[in-house]
Structure 1
Amino acid sequence: MVLFSISATTAGAEKVTFESIILRKNKELHKKYKALKFSCVSSEGTSVWQCMGNEQKIALGDGMIILYQLAAEAAAEIILEIKEQHIIRTLLRDEFDFSGKEESERIIKHCVSLLEKGKGTPNEPWKRRYLMLTKSLQQCLLESSDLNIDGFISFRLQNYGVELREIIEYAVDEFLVDRQYEEFVGLLKYFVYFQEPQIPLVHVVHKGGQELLLFDEFMNPLENKSNEGVFVERIDQQDMEMEDAVVSTLISVSPAKLILHTRDTQMPAVKTLLQIFDKRVEICHYCPDCDVFFREKEKI
């Protein structure tokens, strides 16, 4: 008799992943249940994993419970490896107002990065979702030995679904903040492009982290002018912390050229200056003007 049958729609590489997961789990099951027969068949976009044997031989004690637990573990892995990204797409489409393909793809990409299993040993968030799914899938198998994974996803996500929704909400919030920041930086870049230079040169020394120092062309400290101008007020509203005063001052003095002394062009504050001032910026990794700061901090 069929002790359990677990099926799922699979396409392309999903079929290979499904069979790979089942192959690993079958090896574990064969060691524990030598009398049972396991099969995995894929056809017409559907993969089916079946277990056949004499129920009476394993019904004693916790035999069936353990069998269903092991089967549920495989089904949970199938959902995490094959179905999770599809679930995210469906939830984002049905429950969040993002119709643009580019916007949706950015959010999905961020969600996927948050849900990654990690290399080697699975990370804690992945293991938590795996355990939640295993418990729920095992309960489904105890209720009915015929389990369709797609049906389970549609009607029985429970706590796992709640966690996915929270992750999507977080990714959406991050996307909206990033988009607002990008729009604001674009506005500043546009303003700087048409602004007439007021001084020939400003040196920006990146001492490390978000710490930036401003100097004029003679390497004298530049007076902070962060309280001037309409764009300064807009920057303040963006809560840009240290970038706030630096960018405000630079926009106020409008240098024809900006020499940015840094060893890390990927830091947020540095990237912001590169975006706003664009072709006015020259990168310096080391020179006599910034040597003292290199020696003081051993980095900029």
Structure 2
Amino acid sequence: MELFTIVMGNSAESSVNELYQALDNKLAHVHKDPIGFELSIQQGSDYSLIQGTGSEGARAAFPMEVIGDTIADYILKHLEPDVLHDLITRKYKLHKEDDIRSVEGYCRQFLNGTQDASPLSTLIERRHNLISIRVSGYLQEHSLIVLEGFVRFRLQEYLEELREVVEYAVDESLMDRQYQEFISLLQYFVYMQEAKMPTAHLIHKGGHDFLIFNDQLEPVDLDEYDATFKVEVLEKDVNFEDMIVSTLITVSPAKIYIHTREPELPIVNTIMQIFEGRATVCPYCRMCHAYLGDLAKKDQLYP
């Protein structure tokens, strides 16, 4: 008696064999049950079949949830990347390999938890459980399942989540590209501009509180450079990162020392990119001590 038949495309023969082996391992205990269970695989040029058969009446007692769990693993690993690629290239008409790779990279981050507050295991488990329940429920009533068609027509909730992820990833990729183009423009501007002071010290006291000193350790008088800058009184709708970068470009120092206890901040990374070899993050010095206080004892490695 046919218990189930799984039909799948042969886009990757190794993945078909992987699903067969996974089913064979997870259903090993069923072979020992008195239902005469057998698992077989037939591979054609375009499609492959994985079929489970058993004695009459075995279907009612067969553990379809095991099939659901195993197929869910297969879909997440082997079919999900193809679905994402199809959404990216067809809906958003992206055809340049660099653009596609960028969006796919963001999709992996969002789906695997690195861009979400939820732990990695929770995000994957949620999608896995959704697919597994749908597959096992379907196999309770039908013996034949065509995987690619099942994903396309029976997993609409899952597909909608992927569509939302792709949409968000496309937006993020576009913003990242625009940001990189803007950084490149500023890098060129800085490269072409002559230095107006030998050294500038940028002191990050925390939050949006920054100070800028010249090589004489005096506050920079921006009136001399036809610019205004007062981070302490920033309003909420002002982008303080843009103001800091603009100010540094205006005073055009030959060397920038960034004194901060948070070197991983985006603004620090932005300055390091724009000014390239001119900018250095200071780990600890007298100025750091004066404005930022002592380092934790375990970090006091500097004079």
TM, length-normalised to structure 1: 0.80
Structure 1 residue 169, shift from structure 2 partner: 0.8
- Cα deviation for residue 29 of structure 1 reads 4.6
Matched residue, 1:9 = 9
Amino acid at match of 1:125: L
> Following superposition of structure 1 onto structure 2, how do residues 130-141 of structure 1 map, counting pairs within 5 Å?
130-141=128-139
Q: Which residue does 2:27 correspond to in 1?
A: 26
Does 2:174 match 1:176?
Answer: yes
1:44-103 per-residue CA deviation (whole Å, 9 max, x = no partner) reads 5755432211242453xxx35xx3333222212210121111110011111113121101
Q: Which runs of 5+ in 2 are unaligned?
A: 228-233
User: Is structure 2 residue 248 aligned with structure 1 residue 247?
Assistant: no
2:109 to 91, 98, 113: 113
Tell me the CA shift for residue 285 of structure 1.
Answer: 2.0
Q: How does 1:1-300 map to 2 (within 5 A)?
A: 1-10=1-10, 11=12, 13-15=14-16, 17-27=18-28, 29-30=30-31, 33-41=33-41, 43-44=43-44, 47-59=48-60, 63=61, 67-116=63-112, 123-207=121-205, 212-223=210-221, 241-262=239-260, 265-296=263-294, 298=296
> Percent identity, aligned pairs only?
33
What is the DSSP-based 3-state SS (H/G/I as helix, E as strand, rest coil) of the residue aligned with 1:290?
helix
State whether residues 22 and 49 of structure 1, in contact with CA within 8 Å, keep that contact through their aligned partners in structure 2.
no
Query: Is there any run of 5+ residues in structure 1 with no aligned partner, and where?
Result: 230-235
Deviation at 1:209, TM superposition (A): 6.5
Code of the residue aligned with 1:124 in structure 2: it is T
The two structures, once aligned, show a CA RMSD in angstroms of 3.2
Report the counterpart of residue 232 of structure 1 in structure 2. Answer: none
Whether the 8 Å CA contact 1:18–1:47 is kept in 2: the answer is no
Task: After superposition, give the CA deviation of every residue in 1:173-199 in whole Å (9 maximum; x if it has no partner).
Answer: 111111121122222222222122222
What is the CA distance between 1:30 and its match in structure 2? 4.9
Counterparts of 1:4 and 1:41 in 2: how far apart (Å)?
A: 12
**Aligned residue type for 2:6:** I
Contact 1:21 1:77 in 2 (8 A): no
Amino acid across the alignment from 1:104: I
Q: Tell me the number of residue pairs that the alignment of Structure 1 and Structure 2 aligns.
A: 283
Aligned match of 2:230: none
Aligned to 2:231: none
CA offsets 1:205-235 (integer angstroms, 9 cap, x no match): 344667543211122233467x967xxxxxx
Q: CA separation in 1, counterparts of 2:198 and 2:24?
A: 69
2: distance between equivalents of 1:208 and 1:50? 63
